[in-house]
Amino acid sequence: GENVEQHPSTLSVQEGDSAVIKCTYSDSASNYFPWYKQELGKRPQLIIDIRSNVGEKKDQRIAVTLNKTAKHFSLHITETQPEDSAVYFCAHFGNFGNEKLTFGTGTRLTIIP
Amino acid sequence: DGGITQSPKYLFRKEGQNVTLSCEQNLNHDAMYWYRQDPGQGLRLIYYSQIVNDFQKGDIAEGYSVSREKKESFPLTVTSAQKNPTAFYLCASSMDRGFYGYTFGSGTRLTVV
């Protein structure tokens, strides 16, 4: 299977608080997990990614964690700011005949000033 | 646009007409992709090509056609058979089939009038 489930579909967070978005996948051969941010009317842009040989990766206020046993990975945004408001997509890269990214359905994150 | 250019930015089509969306990249990427995005929705794969002169159907290929005669170019034709073509269309490219992520173009917003 190549599906990926993403939750929640919408998330509102007070400015300065943390936001967490979770994705679950079914392809046990998946080995690359990127996260994309899409601002209104713009193109998705890669913000962070993780490979299956590590469990966590951090870049300033953004972190991604991966649990390969449970087949889920999460995006964590700390000290949220208004410019974090956007739609976030998780994705995973399949393998063995399914070598392309499969995207989650997206999470609309709204930061409340 | 980070090396991948979509044109035009806005496109209006009369019902019953075919229209072609352009996607050009100078990143020397082997693979290219077309996605459709409806308001508030996720990314749905239309077609993809991992090598010149070869392409595969995605999840919603009906009513669309593509060609890949050059590595740099992957045009998408929206045919009259596509009953609801109004949407935001995104082109992407990748090296190594996506194992290093995708680079997206800035999109074409197609409206049927």
The pLDDT value given to residue B3: 93
How far apart CA B7 and CA B47 sit, in angstroms, is 18
How far apart CA B12 and CA A31 sit, in angstroms, is 40
Name residue, tokens 């073509």: B85
Whether B77 and B19 have beta carbons less than 8 Å apart is answered as yes
A101, with CB counted inside 10 A (0-12, 13-18, 19+), is buried
How far apart CA A101 and CA B3 sit, in angstroms, is 20
How far apart CA A106 and CA A96 sit, in angstroms, is 25
Q: Name chain A contacts of B100, Cβ cutoff 8 Å.
A: 32
The pLDDT value given to residue A28: 85
How far apart CA A19 and CA A67 sit, in angstroms, is 18
Cβ separation B98–A43 shorter than 8 A = no
How far apart CA A53 and CA A31 sit, in angstroms, is 8
Closest residue in chain A to residue B5, using alpha carbons only: A43
pLDDT tens profile A55-66: 999 999 999 999
pLDDT tens profile A88-100: 999 998 877 777 8
pLDDT tens profile A3-47: 899 999 999 999 999 999 999 999 888 889 999 999 998 999 999
Q: Name chain B contacts of A104, Cβ cutoff 8 Å.
A: 42
How far apart CA B52 and CA B30 sit, in angstroms, is 8
Under the banding of pLDDT at 50, 70 and 90, the label for residue A2 is low
pLDDT tens profile A37-83: 999 989 999 999 999 888 999 999 999 999 999 999 999 999 999 99
- The percent helix, strand, coil of chain B (3-state, each to 5) is 5, 50, 45
- φ, ψ of residue B99 in degrees (nearest 5): -70, -15
Identify the contact set of chain B against chain A, taking CB-CB distances under 8 A.
1, 31, 33, 40-43, 45, 48, 50, 90, 94, 97-107
Which residue out of A101, A102, A109, A110 would a mutagenesis test of the B interface target, given it has the greatest number of B Cβ atoms within 10 Å? A101
How far apart CA B71 and CA B110 sit, in angstroms, is 25
Which of B1, B31, B42 has its CB closest to that of A104? B42
Average pLDDT of the segment spanning B63-74: 97
Name residue, tokens 């999840």: B59
Question: For residue B39, is the peptide bond before it cis, meaning its omega torsion is within 30 degrees of 0?
Answer: no
